[in-house]
Structure 1
Amino acid sequence: MDWFRRNDEQMVDPLGWGDHRLNMVKAAGIGVATLRCHKDTWAYFVEKFTSTPRGRNDSTFRPPAAEDITDEGAGMITVPISGSTLAAVLDKCRELQGPVGSDLDKAIGRRVEAAISQALRHVVPSGGDRSAAPAIVLDDRTAPAEAAARP
């Protein structure tokens, strides 16, 4: 990880590793979360974990069985994932944004990490209550015409 200097005195963490670590802890505490995305996006992450040499987070990535993935049509799926798998995906997103990742890997890693981070904002220890499971949604849409016309 390259650290950048500001004013030659203050070290700056350009990727926000502190927030990343907190999000990984939050993710690890989740029993189950849902990921709604295109099937190609899910296949991309499965491929990233299975085609690379075993790394620090490969053993925690455990995709659900195919029969547990819901096909919503039009290529969209809903994937139930454990907290440890979510933490592994989050860590893989950060890894993809590193210096050796392609521009495509970096873009996918950044967007997926942002969606996971947004879903984790309101996650707190449950104490056993039956609150809703966190939902990560990767399905950006165009803004309505009237919203797009605003300055």
Structure 2
Amino acid sequence: MWTITDSPIGQLRLVEDHGSITAIEFHPFRDPDARILGDRDDDHPVLVECARQLAAYFAGERTEFDLPLAPVGTQFQERVWKELLTIGYGRTASYGEIAGRLGLTGHGARAVGLANGRNPIPVVIPCHRVVGASGALTGYAGGLERKQLLLGLESDSLF
């Protein structure tokens, strides 16, 4: 099931499967690949709760999400996404720091960057909080303007 909600970063398509959020997509929406999209259901309880928590986050009233999540990816991607959840509101971490936390060496930061870019549940799994080694904003699947807006919502002093 899925629904659409408005936000300061544009419309978001919220997708759930078996009672868990599986995707949050930025507009313009792409056709689903292998993911299950299903029918639109604006009244599905998990989707309604996700939209409510996102609205509270964007209003500055929520710093953490409490939603059932089921991102689908490789085992490595899922490890990275789990680590992203440890980056607190208003904080950032570099790709290299995330790689180090996962015990990766060599091209670990690059691998983390690739997994970060495939995060199917942005905002809730805060891939926007990952920055370059110098602290500079780097790529973001939703575009750097959205990344900057999200970080700005969390801390006026970051950017």
TM over 0.5: no
Where is the helix percentage greater, Structure 1 or Structure 2?
1
Q: Which has the higher contact order (CA 8 A, sep 6+)?
A: 1
Q: TM range, normalised to the smaller chain?
A: under 0.3
TM-score, L = length of structure 2: 0.23
* Larger fraction in strand: 1
TM-score (norm 1): 0.24
- In our comparison, the structure showing a higher alpha carbon Rg is 1
